[in-house]
């Protein structure tokens, strides 16, 4: 089967993390979310991918290439201007097969593809929209369903008291290529405000199917961190996570631990990390590959991206440190999002290490 992954959004609410990074490439569990999504869909029987890209497309293209590294086929549909969800699908029309899956790559959801496709086929649908239930639907596209699953009304971002249901568009669609005739080319088109309502009004067979499993929009720093805590709590799983060394403690390869390191589960520590003497990590901490944590530093409810460095005697709570970001000695940080600019990251990549690697010791896991 073929999937079109919508990966061109600007990720404005996740800035500064997405200032020079496509939002789907933000790491989740120390691996770009987009890679985990592709690996999952491959396991669901999807072998051919079209990636719709716009914001720093070269980052995605350089990482995935033609897909052979992951055992799939990948082609790219670049947007020269922002086209909206429907416009991005129309822009990729030349690459699409007669039936295809569409997935909004900004949302964390590991889709059970085959039940969705069977639902679509049994109802001979033109479009089947994957639906998920939320407490407050006012920020999303909301549907009203008939008993057989046919959508009779689609309301984009209604006031909470006016929402016809709590079922929202999950950003997953099975589409017949014929549906693209309803999308005008060459301009921005909203699939929720224009395309779906127009198809429903025209009497087309537009259905909604409830999706099971975890679903979260990671469009803000708060939601991005919350998705990590859900991962650590086991509410969903990702491919290629390191195994648990102890309950709630996942350690990558070549992790170097100083004397008296305390790991408070749940924590996830990537490859090549070193922790200085007396460092405390967790609860709820994700440490990226190659990160460095100095002596007596404390990391709680915080995410460090690859190569980030926390200086000795620092305390970092409820924060996100981007690639190669570094803290000064002894700083207390709470509720921050810190990211180096591209030129500063290039300099950091060639600068010698400023913290000594710790003498190997033994970590102490404490609840």
Whether residues 290 and 323 share a domain: the answer is: yes
Q: Which of 109-113, 184-188, 264-268, 328-332 has the highest mean pLDDT?
A: 264-268
Number of separate domains in the chain: 2
With a threshold of 0.85, does the pTM exceed it?
yes
Does residue 235 fall inside a structural domain? no
Whether residues 153 and 273 share a domain: the answer is: no
Averaged pLDDT for residues 233-261: 92
Under a CB-based contact definition with an 8 Å cutoff, are residues 291 and 270 in contact? Answer: yes
Q: Is residue 83 exposed (0-12), middle (13-18) or buried (19+ Cβ within 10 Å)?
A: buried
What percent of the chain is predicted at pLDDT more than 70?
A: 90
Verify whether residue 42 is a known catalytic residue: no
Whether residues 193 and 246 share a domain: the answer is: no
Does residue 11 fall inside a structural domain? yes
Does residue 228 fall inside a structural domain? no
Whether residues 263 and 166 share a domain: the answer is: no
Whether residues 327 and 194 share a domain: the answer is: no
Which residues constitute the domain of residue 355?
Answer: 242-365
pLDDT at position 295: 96
Averaged pLDDT for residues 226-248: 92
Q: In the chain, where does DSSP find H-type helix?
A: 33-43, 57-64, 84-91, 113-122, 196-201, 221-232, 342-350
Whether residues 250 and 198 share a domain: the answer is: no
**Mean pLDDT of the chain, nearest integer:** 88
CATH number of the domain at 338, please: 2.160.10.10
pLDDT bin (cut points 50, 70, 90) of residue 168 is: confident
The residue count for the chain:
367
pLDDT tens track for 271-306 = 999 999 999 999 999 999 999 999 999 999 999 999
Boundary residue ending a domain (186, 221, 256): 221
Does position 353 have pLDDT exceeding 60, yes or no?
no
Does position 158 have pLDDT exceeding 80, yes or no?
no
Residue 201's contacts (CB-CB under 8 Å, 6 or more residues apart) are none
pLDDT at position 27: 94
The DSSP call for residue 174 is E
Does position 357 have pLDDT exceeding 60, yes or no?
no
pLDDT at position 123: 94
Whether residues 204 and 303 share a domain: the answer is: no
Q: Which of 157, 177, 259, 362 is catalytic?
A: 157
Does position 210 have pLDDT exceeding 50, yes or no?
yes
HEC string of 224-290 equals HHHHHHHHHCCCCCCCCCCCEEECCEEECCCCEECCCCEECCCEEECCCCEECCCCEECCCEEECCC
CA distance 35 to 60: 10
Whether residues 145 and 282 share a domain: the answer is: no
Averaged pLDDT for residues 114-120: 94
Lateral strand order in the sheet of 292-293: 256-257, 274-275, 292-293, 309-310
Under a CB-based contact definition with an 8 Å cutoff, are residues 303 and 281 in contact? Answer: no
What percent of the chain is predicted at pLDDT more than 90?
A: 63
Does residue 236 fall inside a structural domain? no
Averaged pLDDT for residues 88-112: 94
CATH number of the domain at 174, please: 3.90.550.10
Cis peptide before 97 (omega within 30 of 0): no
Does position 359 have pLDDT exceeding 50, yes or no?
no
CA distance 289 to 24: 18
Could you give the C-alpha distances from 158 to 140, 284, 298, in angstroms and in order? 8, 35, 43
């Amino acid at each position: 089967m073929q999937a079109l992954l919508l990966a061109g959004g600007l990720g404005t609410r996740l800035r500064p993390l997405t200032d020079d990074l496509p939002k789907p490439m933000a790491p989740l569990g120390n691996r770009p979310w987009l890679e985990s999504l592709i690996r999952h869909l491959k396991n669901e029987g999807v072998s051919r991918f079209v990636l719709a890209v716009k914001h720093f497309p070269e980052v995605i293209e350089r990482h995935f290439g033609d897909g052979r590294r992951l055992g799939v086929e990948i082609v790219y549909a670049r947007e020269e201007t922002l086209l909206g969800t429907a416009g991005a699908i129309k822009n990729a029309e030349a690459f699409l097969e007669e039936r295809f899956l569409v997935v909004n790559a900004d949302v964390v959801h590991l889709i059970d593809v085959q039940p969705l496709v069977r639902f679509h086929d049994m109802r001979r649908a033109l479009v089947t929209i994957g639906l998920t239930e939320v407490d407050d639907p006012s920020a999303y596209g909301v549907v009203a369903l008939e008993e057989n699953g046919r959508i009779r009304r689609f309301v984009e971002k209604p006031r909470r008291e006016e929402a016809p249901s709590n079922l929202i568009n999950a950003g997953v669609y099975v589409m017949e290529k014929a549906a693209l005739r309803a999308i005008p080319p060459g301009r921005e088109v909203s699939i929720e405000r224009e395309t779906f309502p127009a198809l429903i009004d025209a009497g087309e067979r537009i259905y909604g199917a409830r999706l099971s499993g975890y679903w979260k929009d990671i469009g803000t720093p708060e939601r991005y961190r919350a998705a990590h805590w859900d991962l650590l709590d086991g509410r969903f799983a990702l491919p290629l996570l390191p195994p648990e060394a102890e309950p709630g403690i996942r350690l990558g390869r070549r992790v170097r631990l100083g004397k008296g390191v305390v790991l408070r589960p749940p924590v996830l520590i990537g490859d090549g990390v070193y922790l200085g003497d007396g460092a405390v990590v967790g609860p709820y901490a994700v440490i990226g590959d190659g990160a460095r944590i100095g002596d007596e530093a404390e990391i709680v409810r915080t995410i460090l991206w690859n190569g980030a460095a926390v200086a000795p005697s620092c305390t970092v709570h409820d924060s996100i440190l981007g690639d190669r970001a570094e803290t000064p000695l002894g700083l207390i940080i709470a509720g921050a999002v810190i990211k180096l600019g591209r030129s500063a990251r290039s300099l950091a990549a060639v600068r010698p290490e400023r913290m000594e690697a710790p003498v190997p010791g033994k970590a102490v896991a404490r609840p």
